[in-house]
Amino acid sequence: MNPSRIIKWALSLCILLTTPFLKNGYSNSLTSNADQLIALWKNDQMKISPNRTEIPINKWKDLFEATYTKAVEEKDTLLQFKLSFGLATIYHDLTNFKKGLPILEFLHKNKERLSEAEYKMVLIKLEEEYRATNNIAKAIVIRKERISKNFIHTYWEIYRDCGLYEAAKIDFLLFEPIPEKFSARKLFYKSFLGSILLEMNQVDSARIIYNEGIAEATQAIKENEIKHTQRQEDLVYWHANLVGLSAKCDMLQGKYDHVIERLQFNLKNTGDNNDNKIEVYILLAKAYLHSNNFEKSKLALDNAKLLMADKTLKNIKSDYLLTASNYFDAIKMPDSAFFYLQSYNNYYQELQYNIQKNQSILLLAEMEISDRRKELLSSKTDLQKISQLTKIQKTQLIWLIVCLIGAIIFGIALYFNIRLKNKNRKQILEQNEQLIINAKNIAEQNKHNEILLKELHHRVKNNLQVMYSLLNLQKRRNNDEELKETLSSVQNRIQTMALVHQNLYNSGEFEQVDVTQYIKNLVIHLQSIYKIDTQIVNIEFDIQTSLSLNIDKIIPVGLLINEAVSNAFKHGFNNVKNGILQINIEHINDKLIIEIIDNGHGFKEEDIKETSIGMQLIKIMCTQLNAVYQLSHTQGVHHKIEFKI
């Protein structure tokens, strides 16, 4: 038998023999056994170790929990602290954040007792668990601490978890150091860069990154078989992981050739990483579903569900629910399909809400960081001025003393003065270089803030579109025409607001919307919705101004026009051969006058339903704008709104 294998199994047997001894409650031996357990576990964590025990992570969990429980019973706080780092690491690797997070927070409060390496790892794991549990505010605090200690220089993970993938990509490429070739760290780098590109739907670019990683992993495995400078299982894992991700790219583009074989290769070589197994099982379920192999698809889904117990996996859970819905839909079980689809929609909405909340928290934090940097720069400038003034005064005093004490002392003083000037010149040059660096950092930060604002408008528009689509689904499932009409009205109001955020996103302006373009787009959109082939309605725009309004005014204006134009199309032009709808906008001094006029039938006050909110909404929006509202409806309908801008 291989001698190294004998040593490994001997160490494993040693641990197993000590476990019952721990449970028997011999307090005098508790510390020594715990120290031995910690030493063996640390040996297993080493990148390269000939004496690794190869004990599964769940066995480590059982051993640490038993020892930790005994230490609690013995009230041995010192031993509890010793065991905390290993136990928190194990819970983290098992994605059991419910148990791991309190221990990490305890370690962070006692960070002065940790080594520098342990302190770094506690910060990394604590931030990851805060991000995984959507506590982005605390995650940002930990990230700032890591940056202040010079452990890291980037925010890309925070941006990614907030849904700001473009900002994450820029930050990743700018500040994430590129590891050396043919290393596990380099393969990790490729995997995460590809994942950001996939979140941005840049599938082809992600596939290129993954294929580069596969080629580099293949070469690294061959070299390490000779040099033995890295853990071979790490290289094998990342090679399999990149193969699986490449297969995922193909699936996203509808290419299923050899996908199952590659995913099975990934699963076979993924080791104890259950998180990766879950994602691969879900991908396998999709692949089997595509080939109508429902039995294997169900088995893959069941395996994923079993492994997901007690884990905190945001996006993977969402993917599982949608895949399960598709599976039950394929096997003609509509009730189960609807249950999982409804669960997916609820969970997706929760994720989107958390993303929006996290984006707001991140935006505030970024602004605070920028403000602090500006204050620091201002303080440095003031200190430099004071320092320079002091140096001038000292120089003048030196010259006065030199004049008083004679020629010899004058020469000595001149020497020191020249030396002092050289020192000052060097300091000024260094300070100028620092100012240039600070200015560059501030410019980059401002660029990031602009990206965040743009992404925020884009995200709001997308969320409004999701609401619009969900209402469409509700309309299709309901036969009540009155309810359908009500839902259509709600959709138009949602689209009215979505157009505002779309204009802000497309124009690059973050506060002002062009009135002319916005109103034309809105009216044309409403015409396309209510258009009837037998009805001719001509729209005439008379807009005698070119101005922009901020978001607080353009949304009420849009809702006003939406209600007036929608009512004209729905009720005003029935049996009218040549309908005319006029939109007049005039800017006089500081007032904006908007008129919506149609040549339809008009209406009577008693014809308005009590349940109708259209006219109520117009009056509410006028109140919000402090507008004067006039309405004529005997021959056609004439709305006139006048307000200060």
Does an H or E element contain 581, and which? Answer: strand 578-588
Distance CA 554, CA 551 (A): 5
Is the pLDDT confidence value at 30 over 50? yes
Average pLDDT over residues 259-268: 94
Q: How confident is the model at residue 251 (pLDDT cuts 50, 70, 90)?
A: very high
Instruction: Please write the tens of the pLDDT for every residue from 169-213.
Output: 988 888 788 888 888 899 999 999 999 999 999 999 999 999 999
Residues linked to residue 580 through DSSP beta bridges, in sequence order: 538
Average pLDDT over residues 586-601: 89
Amino acid at 358: N
Average pLDDT over residues 606-623: 78
Distance CA 60, CA 53 (A): 11
Average pLDDT over residues 317-335: 92
Among 513, 495, 509, 499, CA closest to 454: 509
Predicted local distance difference test score (pLDDT) of residue 357: 80
Average pLDDT over residues 450-466: 62
Beta-carbon contacts of 238 under 8 Å, excluding residues fewer than 6 positions away, are 184, 187, 188, 191, 213, 217
Q: Where are the alpha helices (DSSP H) in 149-255?
A: 156-161, 165-175, 184-199, 203-227, 232-252
Q: What is the largest CA-CA distance in the chain?
A: 113
Token duo for residue 255: 């290419």
Dihedral angle over CA of 94, 96, 97, 99, nearest 10: -120
Higher pLDDT, 595 or 310: 595
Q: How many CB atoms lie within 10 A of CB 55?
A: 18
Is the pLDDT confidence value at 331 over 90? yes
Is the pLDDT confidence value at 20 over 50? no
Q: Coil, strand or helix: which one is 549?
A: strand
Token duo for residue 524: 């044309």
Distance CA 44, CA 52 (A): 5
Predicted local distance difference test score (pLDDT) of residue 384: 56
Distance CA 463, CA 469 (A): 10
Distance CA 474, CA 487 (A): 8
DSSP 285-330: HHHHHHTT-HHHHHHHHHHHHHHTTT---HHHHHHHHHHHHHHHHH
Is the pLDDT confidence value at 4 over 50? no
Distance CA 459, CA 590 (A): 34
Distance CA 644, CA 628 (A): 10
Average pLDDT over residues 470-493: 72
Distances (CA, A) of 43 to 37, 53, 539, 624: 10, 8, 78, 68
Average pLDDT over residues 100-106: 92
Predicted local distance difference test score (pLDDT) of residue 503: 66
Instruction: Please write the tens of the pLDDT for every residue from 531-584.
Output: 776 678 889 998 877 888 888 888 899 889 988 998 888 888 877 778 899 999
Predicted local distance difference test score (pLDDT) of residue 382: 57
Token duo for residue 523: 């009216």
Q: Which residues of 264-279 are buried (b: 16+ CB within 10 A; e: fewer)?
A: ebbbebbeebbbbbbb
DSSP 113: G
Average pLDDT over residues 70-98: 89
Q: How confident is the model at residue 373 (pLDDT cuts 50, 70, 90)?
A: very low
Count of positions (residues) in the chain? 645
Predicted local distance difference test score (pLDDT) of residue 135: 86
Is the pLDDT confidence value at 138 over 60? yes
Residue 218 CA from chain centroid, whole number: 32
Beta-carbon contacts of 169 under 8 Å, excluding residues fewer than 6 positions away, are 156, 196, 197, 200
Predicted local distance difference test score (pLDDT) of residue 242: 95
Beta-carbon contacts of 366 under 8 Å, excluding residues fewer than 6 positions away, are 445, 448, 449, 452
Predicted local distance difference test score (pLDDT) of residue 456: 56
Token duo for residue 418: 């020249």
Token duo for residue 121: 């790892």
- Which of 15-19, 115-119, 204-208, 553-557 has the weakest average pLDDT? 15-19
